[in-house]
Amino acid sequence: MSATPLWRRAVAEGIGTGLLVTVVVGSGIAASKLSPNDVGLQLLENAFATALGLAVLILMIGPVSGAHFNPVVSVVDWWIGRSSGAGLTPRDLGAYIPAQVIGAVLGAVLANLMYDEAAVSWSTTERSAGHLWLGEIVATAGLIVLIFALASSGRAALAPAAVGAYIGSAYWFTSSTSFANPAVTIGRAFSDTFAGIAPGSLPGFVIAQLIGAAVGVGLLRLLYPTAGRAADDVVTPHTKTPANTGAST
């Protein structure tokens, strides 16, 4: 159990998720302005910025909340940690998920405003097709297995680089460009820009992400049956207050 108060961890999750969406949406807007006639280059610029930004945010926020930034990661952390008394409690989960969603929406608004766009402009980019949903299942399942495999094998310190690299590569090897995150998916609906997703496409993506999380849990049971014991180290260790900092709760 983390020594950090729940309210502080929830705020950290909101800030981290919000800044992640700011990176995704902001770099998408910048890419479309810098490379208006080359969609492939726009995707490369968006993916590169997202991979680096995610790694930095995990390093920055991880010691406070674990840097989940993702409701499916939080749900799986609670689910597989229950039997061993590790990971999030239901009360934690009830604070993390709303904070992540609210943060994601505000992150999109911030990106819009930084580029002199309307604060909220509903995306018109339709992403409703079976092959895209399959891409989201694959992307989310892989993310879950990666994160919990690192924690279970004592390599959680590698999470910032590994998770950033995975998301950056999944932009390219999945048909959906790897949203893999319900909160980020919702946030991206608030920006009618390169990285947006139409509100009508949200249910299919979120359902696919939940299915992907379930697939990821199944793979973890097969490959890392004791992964739940390391749930406190997801995404990064955050169970102890750093020594000699003079910080108070």
Q: Give the number of C-alpha atoms closer than 13 A to the C-alpha of residue 175, restricted to the C-beta side.
A: 13
Give the CATH class of 6-230. mainly alpha
pLDDT of residue 248: 36
CB 62 within 8 A of CB 145: no
pLDDT of residue 237: 84
Pick from 166, 141, 143, 147: nearest CA to 216: 141
Please report, for the chain, the start and end positions of each structural domain, with discontinuous segments joined by +: 6-230
Residue 24 is encoded by which pair of tokens? 């995704």
pLDDT of residue 1: 52
Pick from 195, 173, 61: nearest CA to 127: 195
pLDDT of residue 249 exceeding 80, the answer is no
pLDDT of residue 117 exceeding 80, the answer is yes
Residue 127 is encoded by which pair of tokens? 């992403």
pLDDT of residue 103 exceeding 80, the answer is yes
Q: What percent of the chain has pLDDT over 90?
A: 92
pLDDT of residue 2: 63
pLDDT of residue 240: 52
